[in-house]
Chain A
Amino acid sequence: MINAIPPAAIFIIGALLVPLFRGRMKSAFLLAVPVLGLINLISIPEGSHWATTFMGLQLTVLKIDRLSLIFGYIFHIISFITLLYALKMRNDVEYAAGMAYAGSALGVIFAGDLFTLFCFWEMMTVSSVLLIWARKTESSLAAGFRYVVVHIIGGVILLFGILMYATEKGSLDLGYIGLDGLASYLIFIGVGINCAWPLLHSWLSDAYPEATIAGAVFLSAFTTKTAVYVLARTFPGADPLIWIGALMAAFPIFYAVIENDLRKVLAYSLINQVGFMVVGIGIGTDLSINGAVAHAFNDILFKALLFMSMGAVMFRTGKINATDLGGLYKSMPLTCAFCIVGAASISAFPLFSGFVSKSMVMSASAKEGFTAVWFILLFASAGVFHHAGIKIPFFAFFSHDSGLRVKEAPFNMLLAMGITAFLCVFIGSFPGYLYGLLPYPVDYVPYTASHVMAQLQLLFFSALAFTLLMLSGIYPAEIRAVNLDADWFYRKGARAFMWFVTNPMTKVSAKVTRIVFDAIPSSLAQASKNPLSVIKIASDTVLLQFAIPEKRDEIKARIKREKEIFPGDIIKHWPIGSVILWAILFLLIYLLIYYAYNIR
């Protein structure tokens, strides 16, 4: 059988060819790669391809089923949209890194075994950090390094888990693992780092706002969603995920309310949305897994749309802090409109995409009787509207007029945002197409009168709260500030570690150096001038401890004399006979050691 081309290969080869093209040819090439990739993907039949053995273990580079296929589709779609959006950036590093990143994400999605998965997992880290470094600012360089370190640690944990798992099971097949034993927990945590679990999340809110304009759009799509996919594949129904997800959905919205950098607000809302997916996987029913996957699909689109609109604002104004923006609806009306579509989608307004997928997870949590989780998710739903739905468009495009008068975003950016906005509305209005792609058969109707009414009430009264707080002046003013998050532990921790290394540790090391390289050799050198005299002084010193009081003064005087004349003349006190005696003694000791070793 002729093997299909792995979707990852098309993107990775594409990334390598990027520098060969110039001008319009480059634009055409960039857009052609995801299109060719999608055509290729559609033509590959479901099942395993590229099976091989490595050190006695079965590897499958390409395995396609319904769960991986839907992720494959959306990854191709978002790659096309992001590359279209980035056409004016004229930065080969961004293009190549973005493509390699998309390719390695596809490699993870279609990996049939844990080894292949791990290889692409690491490629994702390497290629994605280039999207942060490509910004070429001092803070992006630092944030990129922190990002790499966190992901390498995560990768090592994952690798340990995989190796232990392979040793235990004798197989590397990627399938249900479930929480059972140390190996599975290591894999669980390794994936959890990429999934931005609470306390493991700060790489995301730290690094994404530092990425390039198009880089942030790429980043928002792949790393967390591949982790969601791997969790759905390996740990469906794992109970801890329910609470991890609920926490993820809830805590970032508090940060988002007080954050000034609007892309950082989006980073927090990204964690919040992934929380819904993680809960869905944790519940583990057909409905909830479908909900998680559908929400991942939709989130990739509307989060990219929001990042693109904020990126367009940044591209034109060079600013991204809420304190510097405002009133841009006058000069960037289309970007503003697309941003509002993205905001409505993430807030799950009826007829927008979030509505048809988030509600599946909510409904599954209710049906399985997770009352507290349901309340937290409802709180998160209201909260996400508050910070992503209202705050983002309001502070960027309305609020007080910043006086900025800029051009509307370039055509390619508008087109990319327009396509995404269309998809958000289309999926929200005709959810049947999305439901048809989900891994399990869908028996869920989002548009019932009571559900629509419930959601409209929730959202409008969240907006009412915003309006009242704004009018009364209670709403927290945007402040230029740093808000501490879990990255404090390693940012300040690293500094504390460096202080520890430079202060106490160097003092200890200086002392060790002095003793080992200075004090000991010099005293040995001194002693070697007359070793026998040293032994005599030592034996007299020992003798002094045991001597009767009357003899003490005499011994003390002798030691004093011996020290004074050191190294002195050996012969004077040590007749040759005693030297021979010592020699024989040492030979005897040597002999004993020799026998002791050989008798065994």
Chain B
Amino acid sequence: MKEEKTHFFDKPENVKNFIRGFFIICILLLIADFSVPKHGDFYWEDIPQFYAAYGLVACIVLVLVSKYVLRRLVKRREDYYD
């Protein structure tokens, strides 16, 4: 049987580098935010890192609520309606 070609994410170091690169972009975005002139419609839009904080918190809240509240309320066996 032919040995299958190794793909990019098959190598753990590639995955690690990918995640590392992603973290670096996040840090760069935090730094770059200070150099951008702000003209938001609301005053809090002009607070540095407002959007970063909101994105992070919103998604953590989203996942936690979905997992611990919604799933607990609505999850049923796959044959529930059968």
Chain A residues in the interface with B (C-beta under 8 A) = 253-255, 257-258, 329-330, 363, 366-367, 371, 374, 378-379, 382-383, 386, 398, 401, 405, 448-450, 453-469, 471, 474-476, 479-485, 491
Chain B residue with Cβ nearest A331: B7
When distances are taken between beta carbons in the complex, the residues of chain A under 8 Å from B67 are: 257-258, 474-476
Q: Is the CB of A460 within 8 A of B25?
A: yes
Q: Are A457 and B45 in contact (CB under 8 A)?
A: no
Contact A476-B26, Cβ < 8 Å, known A382-B54, A383-B58, A453-B32: no
User: Are the CB atoms of A450 and B71 closer together than 8 Å?
Assistant: no
In the bound complex, residues from chain B placing their C-beta under 8 Å from that of A455 are 51
**Complex CA–CA separation, A491 to B71 (angstroms):** 19
Q: Given contacts A453-B32, A464-B26, is CB(A458)–CB(B51) below 8 Å?
A: yes
Give chain B residues whose Cβ lies under 8 Å from the Cβ of A398.
9
Separation in Å of the A454 CB from the closest CB of chain B? 5
Quick one: which of B45, B63, B74, B78 contacts A474, CB cutoff 8 A?
B63
The reply to whether the CB of B12 lies closer than 8 angstroms to some CB of chain A is: no
**Is there contact, CB below 8 Å, between A466 and B59?**
yes
A-B contact pairs, 20 of them (CB 8 A): A253-B62, A254-B70, A258-B66, A258-B67, A374-B42, A378-B54, A379-B62, A383-B59, A383-B62, A453-B36, A455-B51, A459-B55, A461-B51, A461-B59, A465-B63, A471-B19, A474-B63, A475-B67, A484-B73, A491-B81
**How far is it, in angstroms, between the C-alpha of A484 and the C-alpha of B7 when the chains are bound?**
39
Which A residues lie within 8 Å of B76 (CB)? 481-484
Are the C-beta atoms of B62 and A386 separated by less than 8 Å?
yes
* In the assembled complex, B56 has its CB within 8 A of some CB on chain A: yes
Secondary structure of the A side of the interface?
A: helix
- Chain A residues with CB under 8 A of B59: 382-383, 386, 461-462, 465-466, 469
Report the separation of the CA atoms of residues A485 and B70 in the bound assembly, to the nearest whole angstrom: 11
Q: Do the beta carbons of B63 and A457 come within 8 Å of each other?
A: no
Q: Is the CB of B41 within 8 A of A363?
A: yes
Q: How far is the CA of A461 from the CA of B81 in the complex (A)?
A: 38
**Any chain A CB within 8 A of the CB of B11?**
no
- Given A374-B42, A382-B58, A458-B55, answer yes or no on A449-B36 (Cβ-Cβ < 8 Å): yes
Contact A476 B66 (CB under 8 A): yes
A449, B25: Cα distance in complex, Å: 17
Contact assessment for A378 and B58 in the assembled complex, using a CB-CB cutoff below 8 Å: yes
Residues of A contacting B38 with CB < 8 Å? 450
Is there contact, CB below 8 Å, between B74 and A461? Answer: no
Q: Indicate the member of A371, A448, A458 with the most B CB atoms within 10 Å.
A: A458
B residues in contact with A458, CB < 8 Å: 51-52, 54-55
Q: Which 7 interchain pairs have the tightest Cβ spacing?
A: A465-B59, A366-B41, A461-B55, A257-B66, A457-B51, A484-B74, A476-B67
By a CB distance below 8 angstroms, the chain A residues around B57 are 465
A482 near B62 with CB under 8 A, answer: no
B22 touches A469 (CB 8 A): no
A374 to B50, CA, bound (A): 14
Nearest A residue (CB) for B59: A465
CA distance A378 to B61 in the complex (A): 14
Report which residue of B4, B26, B40 has the largest number of chain A beta carbons within 10 angstroms of its beta carbon: B26
